[in-house]
Structure 1
Amino acid sequence: MEFKLLRGMLPEYDETINYSIELGEDKLHLNPLIGKTIKIHFNNTKNCIACGREIKKNTFNQGYCYPCFRDLAENDLCIVSPHLCHFHEGTCRDEDFAKKHCFSDHYVYLAISSDVKVGITRKVTLKKRWMDQGAIEAMPIALVPDRRTAGLMEHSLKEYLNDKTNWRKMLKGESTGDLSISLSVVREVIADEFKDYLIEETILKINYPHATPPKLKSLNLEKSPILESKLLGVKGQYLILEEGVLNIRKHRGFNCTIEAAE
Structure 2
Amino acid sequence: MMHGNLRKMMASADSNGKVSYQLRLGDEQFPLEQAIGQKVSIQFSGQISCIHCGRASNKSFSQGHCYPCFKKLAACDTCIMSPEKCHYHKGTCREPDWAEKFCMQSHYVYLSNTTALKVGITRGDQLPTRWLDQGATQARAMFLVDNRRTSGLVETLFKDEVADKTNWRNMLKGSDLNIDLAAEQERLINRLWEGLDSLQNEFGLQAIQELGDDNVTHEFDYPVLEYPTKVTSINAEKTPLVEGTLMGIKGQYWMLDTGVINLRKYTGYEAAFTL
TM-score by length of 2: 0.90
Corresponding residue SS for 1:49: coil
**C-alpha deviation, 1:214, in angstroms:** 4.8
**C-alpha deviation, 1:91, in angstroms:** 0.7
Q: Which residue of 1 aligns with 2:162?
A: 161
**Distance across 1 between alignment mates of 2:220 and 2:104:** 29
- C-alpha offsets along residues 85-144 of structure 1, whole Å, 9 cap, x if unaligned? 111111101111111101111111000012111100011101000000000000100001
Corresponding residue SS for 1:227: strand
- C-alpha offsets along residues 192-223 of structure 1, whole Å, 9 cap, x if unaligned? 13475111211111111023025411111111
1:258 maps onto 2:273 in alignment: yes
Q: Which residue of 1 aligns with 2:56?
A: 54
1:122 maps onto 2:118 in alignment: no
Q: Which residue of 2 aligns with 1:25?
A: 27
**C-alpha deviation, 1:44, in angstroms:** 1.2
Between stretches 92-101 and 58-67, larger displacement belongs to: 58-67
Contact 2:111 2:140 in 1 (8 A): yes
1:247 equivalent among 233, 254, 262: 262
**In the comparison of the two structures, how many residue pairs are matched?**
259
**Distance across 1 between alignment mates of 2:10 and 2:247:** 18
**Which runs of 5 or more residues in structure 2 are unaligned?**
none
2:182 equivalent among 180, 183, 188: 180
**Distance across 1 between alignment mates of 2:175 and 2:129:** 22
Corresponding residue SS for 1:55: coil
**Which runs of 5 or more residues in structure 1 are unaligned?**
none
2:223 equivalent among 194, 205, 209: 209
**Distance across 2 between alignment mates of 1:214 and 1:156:** 35
Contact 1:233 1:239 in 2 (8 A): yes
In 2 relative to 1, CA 178–39 (structure 1 residues): closer, same or farther, beyond 3 Å?
same
**Distance across 2 between alignment mates of 1:133 and 1:228:** 23
**C-alpha deviation, 1:63, in angstroms:** 1.1
Between stretches 1-10 and 71-80, larger displacement belongs to: 1-10
| Misfit runs of 4+, over 4 Å | none
**Distance across 1 between alignment mates of 2:11 and 2:250:** 9
In the alignment, residue 198 of structure 1 is paired with which amino acid? Answer: E
Contact 1:106 1:144 in 2 (8 A): yes
In the alignment, residue 47 of structure 1 is paired with which amino acid? Answer: S
Q: Which residue of 1 aligns with 2:42?
A: 40
1:228 equivalent among 204, 224, 243: 243
